[in-house]
Amino acid sequence: MKSINPANGQIIREYHEHTWPETEQIIADVYATWRTWKETSFESRSLLLKNAAQILRDRKDFYARLMTLEMGKLLRESAAEVEKCAWVCDFYASQGEEMLKDELIATDASRSFVTYQPIGPILAVMPWNFPFWQVLRFAAPALMAGNAAVLKHASNVPGCAMAIENLFMEAGFPANLFRTLLVPSAAVEAVIASPLIAAVTLTGSESAGSQVAACAGKYLKKSVLELGGADPFIVLEDADMEAAVKTAVTARMINQGQSCIAAKRFIAVKAAMHEFETAMKAAFAALRTGDPMEPGTQVGPLARPDLVDEIDHQVRVSVAAGARLVIGGNRPERTGCYYEPTILADVTSGMPVYAQETFGPVVTLITAEDEDDAIRIANDSEFGLGGCVWTRDLARGEHVARKVETGAMFVNGMTKSDPRLPFGGVKKSGYGRELGINGIREFVNIKTIWIA
């Protein structure tokens, strides 16, 4: 298993891939450790999560550099990701016990209540785009709830996967409570099938989610899926255009556009589109492409060569179908997995960039007749993860937010995940929730106890 720097194509390190007997042993060790861990107190779990948060902050530069080397994220974005991981650890360390306390329910019994109990080792199949955050937002609540974890990370970030395993051990968690499996995707079904694995969570593509959901169903295991998105960014005629454009650039270009909740379909009403397009073109023309390690870089490489091929194909086919190329649309002449920041206008239904998830620095401009048409276009998607709407009328913004079919909508702000709020999607963006109280209750036995 090779770790390759997407900025220059150089091999960083090669890792030993676990054999199936080694994988079985790891799973058995995790299960054995969980049998003891589930009896530990919330106080003990909280202390260890706080230790993890402190280590993340103390070693922020190390973890950030590792992320940037393995998948090309801008170094400052990697550092922010580490800080967010520390936040989610602190959040569940302080709130987890309250979220999982027994709930008394008035019935015909002398006493009846609901209790939340851990269910066992959870398999986490995680992606490369946020290699620390995607794992920690699952692991923090799962471990706080008394579960154990087995991580199957993306094959291009094995260094991050092992660093997270070491993080939990350094924080004082039992040695086999959180383990990484360095295995190919083909091994996932066998791991799910293990009687020692209680459930599975996946963040990734629609196709990967479909396969994991099928496996989980086959073996009667609980599953949570956070899949792709084609998030709408709706601009109404009364929007604060300066704020909307500034946020739009960030919402599209964060992580080079390689984010499930990055804004992807920019839907402006006819009265606002010209101003929005003009401002977006100027903003994109000013972006600086370069080495993700350099402080002045605003656009780094995509994570793998095949991702460049895919986004280039989506752009070219859409242009051939009638989309207007405003800026970009090419591979820059430089070493590494780079693609120019690109804007496509006059996008209509049937084009790849209208219907598909675009995982790269490409803005799709879609004109709506009015507010109702913008809502229609926003909902004309197989995905439903996040989205936002821009208007000076907050009541109007709330009305639009309620009408758009997504797991989250933001009014005058970019879509983002927050430990305090549930996160997840509808339609082909998946099911179940992470974060908030809903997230920590996904992988527990919600148990009724009735006493005569």
SS (H, E, C) 372-386: HHHHHHHHCCCEECC
Is the CB of residue 167 less than 8 Å from the CB of residue 52?
yes
Strands 444-451 and 111-118: antiparallel
Q: Which amino acid is at 279?
A: A
Catalytic residue annotation = 226, 260
Residue 442 is classified by DSSP as T
> What is each CA distance from 127 to 37, 122, 173, 342, 372, in whole angstroms?
27, 16, 24, 24, 35
Q: What is the pLDDT of residue 252?
A: 98
What was the pLDDT predicted at 159?
Answer: 98
Per-residue pLDDT at 281: 98
The CATH class given to the 231-411 domain equals alpha beta
pLDDT in tens, 405-421: 999 999 999 999 999 99
CA distance 64 to 78: 5
* Burial (0-12, 13-18, 19+ Cβ within 10 Å), 409: buried
In percent, the amount of the chain with pLDDT more than 90 equals 100
Model pLDDT, residue 280: 98
Give the pLDDT score at 311.
Answer: 98
Domain assignments of the chain as residue spans, ordered by start: 2-227+429-451, 231-411
Give the model's confidence band at 256: pLDDT under 50 very low, under 70 low, under 90 confident, else very high. Answer: very high
Sign of the dihedral through C-alpha 361, 308, 295, 161: positive
Contacts of 102 (CB under 8 A, 6+ apart): 113, 114, 115, 116
Task: State pLDDT tens for residues 139-180.
Answer: 999 999 999 999 999 999 999 999 999 999 999 999 999 999
pLDDT tens-digit series, residues 30-75: 999 999 999 999 999 999 999 999 999 999 999 999 999 999 999 9
pLDDT tens for 98-150 read: 999 999 999 999 999 999 999 999 999 999 999 999 999 999 999 999 999 99
Arithmetic mean of pLDDT over the chain: 98
- pLDDT for 112 equals 98
Confidence band, pLDDT 50/70/90 cuts, at residue 389? very high
The domains spanning 2-227+429-451 and 231-411 adopt the same CATH topology? no
- The tens digit of pLDDT for each residue in 311-365 reads 999 999 999 999 999 999 999 999 999 999 999 999 999 999 999 999 999 999 9
Architecture of domain 2-227+429-451: 3-Layer(aba) Sandwich (3.40)
Angle between helices 60-71 and 158-170 (to 10 degrees): 160
What mean pLDDT is predicted for residues 429-438? 98
